[in-house]
Structures are given as structure tokens and as C-alpha cells.
Amino acid sequence: MVGKNFYDLLGLRKDASDKDIKQAYRRLARKYHPDVNPGNKSAEAKFKEINAAYEVLADKEKRQKYDKYGDKWQYADQFEQAQREQAQYQGFSPGGGSTSYRYSGDVDDLDGIFEELFGGARGRGFSRRAQPRRGQDMETPIEVTLEEVYSGTHRTISLQVEEPCTACQGSGQIQNLPCSVCRGAGVVANIKRIEVKIPAGVTTGSRVRIAGKGQPGYGGASGDLYLNITVRPHATVERQGDDLHVNVPVPLTVAILGGEVQVPTLKGKLALKIPAETQNGRVFRLAGQGMPHLGKSTKGDLLAKVNVVLPTRLSEKEKELFRQFSEIRPA
């Protein structure tokens, strides 16, 4: 997503309201959803970009950071912490006395900040001393199916993390010269693969916290990783809260005389007894057959709506029987 403008992705101006953002997301999500564009990799990639943009712009705090720092918004806390530390940083000048260093330019990247904060001091024989600091929290979007939400699932994800440089042990210097491995930053970027558990019952908008799996700390604890969940719509099962809704095709003869039909669920099929003279559109509630309540052992309900199926391609004998029925039971 580097270099892509989140507002442009959603077709919005920077002063768009929360309502505008939500409406734009819903419109584009329907257009590019994988279920609507099966096998279309371009649409799938566009759908992921739209989700990533919405996840930031729909969150007030993240949106403020994005408006200020652009596609480097995730480093906002580090930028601001570095500027606060720099404002207090003082070194000794060659002729005696003290010299204050203040960062007054635009925030382009962490390397630029570190160079602004500590580069001048190195030339004066002043070494940088990193203060212990907790690692930055990280966030990543995760898309799951309704079946995965029903049972819970696992994902193996790749994250780019910044770890202390082993060549200079995080100091940024080797023999009073900038470290060539980390370019004096004291940290290097590495790819880390981790397996995460997504609990049953999550919904679109859920944030799953994975403790200690964010950016490594600088002498302190690692940050946390947050999974921002998007649940893909299901072709036949609709979720409303923790209740599930399905349409059940019922033959006309079963609706009139009674019988048994199969109800599709996320874990297979269930048998449902249909009383005689069941009307089209009647809803049967199957208690405890819905979605698990997040963090609990209980579940919602499954609501099965009867969809009476009229027979087609009738034989002459069948038509005659219906004609007789219409005479006995006129409309």
C-alpha cells in the first residue's frame, strides 16, 4: 500500500465525513468482492486495498495519524517520540558550552529523523545512547470465511519488523563511525513469519490482539500485533449478530402434507420436521445452531425460512389432480 492514497482508493476528498467513508466502502466492496468476481485476481487485489484503506480512515485515531504522516502513519508514535527526545537532546560543542539540536523539517522516514537527531552529535565525538523503549504495536488485515469464523482458525502471516542491528548491537556505530549495515539507525528490517489464532465468533471490525508479536522493543518489551478482521459474505447463509439465517427449499407436497427436509448449515445439514399445512415464508428457529458468541461457549440460533417450491413439468395426470383439487377447494 506504500504510495497509494487511501482517500483516492475510496474516491473521497480529504474532508469526507464518516458517513461518506462508510458509504464509499460499501459501494466499492460490493463491486470488487471476490464472490462477485470469482477468479479475478485484479478485483481481489483491489478489494484488499479498499479494506486496508477503510480500516484506517474509519478509525478516528488512525485517520489523524494518516492525515499527518501519510503511508508511514504506523510509525507516528515513533516519529513523535523521536521528536520529543530530540527536543531535549543536548551535546557539547567543540568550543565548550552546549548546543541544542531541534528537528524542524518534514517527517520523511525514521532514518531521516535519526540522522537529524544524532548525526551532528557523532561528528563531535558524542555517542548516542538509546533509552529503553517498548516496541511499536502493529496491525494487519485478515480476511476469513464464515465457516472459519464458525469453528475458529489459524493463519500464518509474514510481517516486516525492525530489530536491533547485531553488527553494532543497536548503537548505530562501529568504532565511532556509522554502522554500514543499518546506516547508523541501529535497527534493520527483517521478515518474521508467525502463526496466529483467530477465535470463533469474530466479525468484520473485530480486532484480535496477539501479545508481544509487534515490533521488538529497544531494551524494552515487544509491542503487540492486532489483527483487523474482515468476514467474507457467504453464498447461502446470512449472519445477523450471532444468529444465522438460511432459506430452506420445501416441496409443495411436504408443505401441504408435512414431512422432513434438510437444512444447510456451516457444519453440514440438519433434519427439520415440517408440520402439515406449513405456509410459505414461515421461519423455524433452531436454538443453539448459530454462530458462537465471541469468547463464550454459547451460540446464537439458526433461523430457517421456508421457501415452498412449486412443481414444474407436470404430467397430464398431475394437472388433472390439481384441476380436481381446484374444484373441491376453489380460490
**Cβ(52)–Cβ(141) below 8 Å:** yes
Indicate the pLDDT class of residue 1, thresholds 50, 70 and 90: low
- Bridge-partner residues for 163, per DSSP? 188
Three-state DSSP at 249 gives strand
Helix (H) or strand (E) segment spanning residue 321:
helix 316-328
pLDDT tens-digit readout, 234-287 = 999 999 999 999 999 999 999 999 999 999 999 889 999 999 999 999 999 999
Give the C-alpha separation, 112 to 23, whole Å. 38
Give the C-alpha separation, 208 to 205, whole Å. 10
Give the C-alpha separation, 243 to 221, whole Å. 40
What does the buried/exposed string (b/e) look like for 108-138 if buried means 16 or more CB atoms within 10 Å of the residue's CB?
A: eebebbbbbbbeebbeeebebeeeeebbbbb
* Mean pLDDT, all residues of the chain: 82
* Rg of the chain, C-alpha, whole Å: 30
pLDDT at residue 289, rounded to an integer: 94
Closest residue by Cα to residue 137 from 192, 217, 83, 79? 217
Q: Which domains does the chain have, with CATH numbers?
A: 133-232 (2.60.260.20), 238-328 (2.60.260.20)
pLDDT tens-digit readout, 127-159 = 444 467 788 898 999 999 999 999 999 999 888
pLDDT tens-digit readout, 73-117 = 777 777 777 666 555 444 433 344 433 333 334 444 444 544 444
Three-state DSSP at 251 gives strand
Contacting residues for 106 by C-beta, under 8 A, at least 6 apart: none
Contacting residues for 96 by C-beta, under 8 A, at least 6 apart: none
Task: Examine the pLDDT at 322 and tell me if it is beyond 80.
Answer: yes
Task: Examine the pLDDT at 122 and tell me if it is beyond 60.
Answer: no
**Cβ(271)–Cβ(262) below 8 Å:** yes
Task: Examine the pLDDT at 43 and tell me if it is beyond 70.
Answer: yes
Q: Identity (one letter) of the amino acid at 285?
A: R
* Cell 405456509, located at residue: 279
pLDDT tens-digit readout, 151-207 = 999 999 888 877 777 777 777 777 777 777 777 777 777 888 899 999 999 999 999
Q: Identity (one letter) of the amino acid at 27?
A: R
How far is CA 98 from each of CA 120, 222, 327, rounded to the nearest angstrom?
Answer: 13, 35, 108
Residue 2 sits at φ, ψ, to 5 deg, of -60, 130
pTM of the predicted model, to two decimals?
0.56
